[in-house]
Amino acid sequence: MTTSSNPGNVQAFKELDEAIDALDPVVALMSLIQITGDRSLLQCYGDALEGTQHTVKEAFVAFGEEREPPGEAALRTAQIVRDLLREAVKSGKQPLMPHPDKRLFHEMANRVTGVEIPAMSVEPAFQHAGFTTDTRVREPVRLPSEDFKVLVVGAGMMGINAAVKLQQAGFDFTVVEKLDAVGGNWLENTYPGAAVDTPSRVYSFSFEPNASWSKYYPNGPEFLSYLERVTDKYSLRDRIHFGTRVDGAAWDEVRKLWTVSAERGGEQVVYEVNALIMAVGPNNEPNYPKVENLDTFKGPVVHSAHWDHSVDLKGKKVVLVGTGCSGVQVATAIAGQVGELVIVQRQPEHILPNPTAHDPVDPLEIRAMERVPFAAQWKRLQSLASQLTDMHGMVLKDEQYAAETGGFGPINDGMRMLCEGYLQSHFPDDPELVAMLTPNFPVFSKRPILDCGFYDTLKKPNVSIVRGALQGADENAVILDDGTRIECDVLLLSTGYKLHFGRQFDIVGRDSKRLRDVFDPYPFSYEGMLVPGFPNFILGGGPYSFLVANHAVVSEQQMHYAIELLQWMVDDGLSSVDVTQKATDAFVEDVDSNLQQSAWVQCGNAHGYYRDQGKKVILAIPRHNSRIWHDLRVPRQEDFRVTRWNDAEPATEPEMTMLTI
């Protein structure tokens, strides 16, 4: 029996044909170019396919005018390209161009996204779309020695990322994790409706793209399984000490080591390491509001971050406090099973339409990304496109525009109008509810919410929403700040997290300075991860890290920088690297100054976790992520105070001698 006549192959080829027929024609062309190595195909077919790109239906890019449908000529060209791709994939040959050069990639990226990718974003696009797995800039001169130890605290997304990159760079490392498995918040967040509110294609590691996401926005268990697969692929479990809770760490100036104290199974454990990477992120502890007499309430009190699955909600009267990201997900998930749901909202949120919130990915699209080389990377780039272009007037205020219009910025105002129109479309006959649910501050003053069905949930006859803050409780009810008493059987709290930024640990640096004291009144950092006086210490996801890119992007960029920093130490025989106070002050001054023009600071009466202790914004960085990508390529050595091992000299490239025959 020939290969082509084998029933299994016939079926596989039929499924491949169907997947390619449904594939974005421009993505098909890019994959074809890489498989065949024929760059002339771009000029031959690129112009004719312009406008045939599939629209990316995601919350932040789902508004704007729809494009005109492609004409007959474009459709004919699309069929030619798909037929060529079909033949190339079925040939089974190894792709000839797995890594297009940067100039060609830029042109291909422009075509596949339908926008002009700015020069500053070309290299970030190349990495974050998944076209390279090694982002190192420094060419190692020395290999890390076996006595150079690195400890990573946390086995969530950032910790796994750090472990993979440390392993690839040849460092001897250990990961400690307080829980009994990997996943971090995605292991703990098991509340009903828990899901990622970033598109699945980009909320994943660029070096491990997943072609098989079942939903455009994955639920918690699916994302957790992705992290587990990455952990197993890179054989990381043997490097992770589970059930190990770090208490603190102290810097030994004489030996140039960190002594890290931890507890495992009731016993004290000590690690001595050259470098310490804190990869726990800022969200570590549920934020419980101060509620008078809460201990007298007879019913269950459940926080969404520590969900108690033994609590039966069926037919119960439930009060849910909080309408942030987790709150709207919980409300939507439980409304159909509770007897009555009363939602307590302190303040309205900007809610964006999200047409694919619960949608499964088309099986043909999954098949194409699984079977067609590079299709997953190009589709990932399409999802990244809106983050790669200029965003003027989205988060930073456009003063001229504001003076002329009274608004904030063109993109911010456009998003605000989108949210308001979406809200009104759901409640056209209820102006009071529309007014109650309409914020009076710019978008991004608080985290925008991607609608997961929350407005439809509010229409259910057993669901109501009230404005207020939880103040007290008695045996059978909760009491709001205006005195309203709401009887209930169960109290659910979706009130977010306490953002510690390392203050939950007893970390002692140079000159016996404690991190929590240095961070009084507010935490700060250099480049989002370094603190002066704490050498060889990387605070992943530190102050000034977030809100301009998703956690996967942030963690990859920061862990890249960490590897560059550690390799510099190895190459130059450095025993310590410590960012200077001068460099840190300059960074903080620049960031704080630009933050003053942001919606995070010019937020009106908006409250929330963006502001430390309700006052200063330290979570965000007011820079385009493509700039951050470039800033974190290599450490600026002039910004550091370093010490060198006594007998160490910087490594040099070996002299090349002429060979003869």
**Which pLDDT score, from 0 to 100, does residue 243 have?**
98
For residues 247 and 380, membership in a common domain is answered with: no
CATH classification at residue 553? 3.50.50.60
Domain that holds residue 374: 7-116+363-388
Distance between CA atoms of residues 441 and 404, nearest Å = 18
Distance between CA atoms of residues 364 and 463, nearest Å = 38
Distance between CA atoms of residues 190 and 452, nearest Å = 17
Phi, psi dihedral angles at 579 (to 5 degrees) = -65, 140
For residues 436 and 321, membership in a common domain is answered with: yes
For residues 510 and 481, membership in a common domain is answered with: no
pLDDT digits (tens, 9 = 90+) for 279-310: 998 887 899 999 999 999 999 999 999 999 99
For residues 178 and 61, membership in a common domain is answered with: no
Q: Flag whether 274 is in a domain.
A: yes
Q: Flag whether 312 is in a domain.
A: yes
Q: Flag whether 660 is in a domain.
A: no
* 3-state SS record for 133-200: CCCCCCCCCCCCCCCCEEEEECCCHHHHHHHHHHHHHCCEEEEECCCCCCCCHHHHCCCCCCECCCCC
For residues 343 and 437, membership in a common domain is answered with: yes
For residues 94 and 189, membership in a common domain is answered with: no
Phi, psi dihedral angles at 171 (to 5 degrees) = -85, 145
> What number of other Cβ atoms are within 10 A of residue 269's Cβ?
16
For residues 339 and 370, membership in a common domain is answered with: no
For residues 452 and 543, membership in a common domain is answered with: no
> Any idea how long the chain is?
661
Residue whose C-alpha is closest to residue 383's, from 197, 113, 104, 627: 113
Torsion over CA: 389, 393, 396, 398 (sign):
positive
For residues 51 and 174, membership in a common domain is answered with: no
Half-sphere exposure of 335 (CA within 13 A, CB side): 21
- Which tokens go with 391? 């965003």
Q: Flag whether 1 is in a domain.
A: no
3-state secondary structure of 463: strand
* Exposure string over 370-392, b if 16+ CB within 10 A, otherwise e: ebbbbbbbbbbbbbbbebbeebe
Residue whose C-alpha is closest to residue 509's, from 538, 479, 468: 538
Residue whose C-alpha is closest to residue 537's, from 578, 500, 573, 585: 578
**Which pLDDT score, from 0 to 100, does residue 64 have?**
47
Q: Flag whether 653 is in a domain.
A: no
Strands 640-644 and 574-579: antiparallel
**Which pLDDT score, from 0 to 100, does residue 283 have?**
83
Q: Flag whether 343 is in a domain.
A: yes
Residue whose C-alpha is closest to residue 380's, from 200, 546, 118: 200
Distance between CA atoms of residues 318 and 491, nearest Å = 6
**Which pLDDT score, from 0 to 100, does residue 1 have?**
42
- Sheet of 506-508, strand order: 267-273, 257-264, 244-252, 506-508
Residue finishing a domain among 497, 523, 538: 497
For residues 520 and 640, membership in a common domain is answered with: yes
Q: Considering the chain, what percentage of its residues have pLDDT values greater than 90?
A: 89
**Which pLDDT score, from 0 to 100, does residue 57 have?**
56
Distance between CA atoms of residues 605 and 585, nearest Å = 29
**Which pLDDT score, from 0 to 100, does residue 62 have?**
46
Q: Flag whether 65 is in a domain.
A: yes
**Which pLDDT score, from 0 to 100, does residue 541 have?**
97
For residues 311 and 205, membership in a common domain is answered with: no
End-to-end CA distance of the chain: 54
**Which pLDDT score, from 0 to 100, does residue 63 have?**
46
Question: Which positions of the chain have pLDDT values less than 70?
Answer: 1-8, 55-67
**Which pLDDT score, from 0 to 100, does residue 66 have?**
61
Q: Flag whether 378 is in a domain.
A: yes
Number of domains, the chain: 3
For residues 551 and 414, membership in a common domain is answered with: no
Residue finishing a domain among 471, 497, 523: 497
- Are 192 and 326 in contact by the 8 Å Cβ rule? The answer is no
- The model's pTM: 0.95
* Exposure string over 446-478, b if 16+ CB within 10 A, otherwise e: bbbbbbbbbbebbeeeebebeebebbbbeeebb
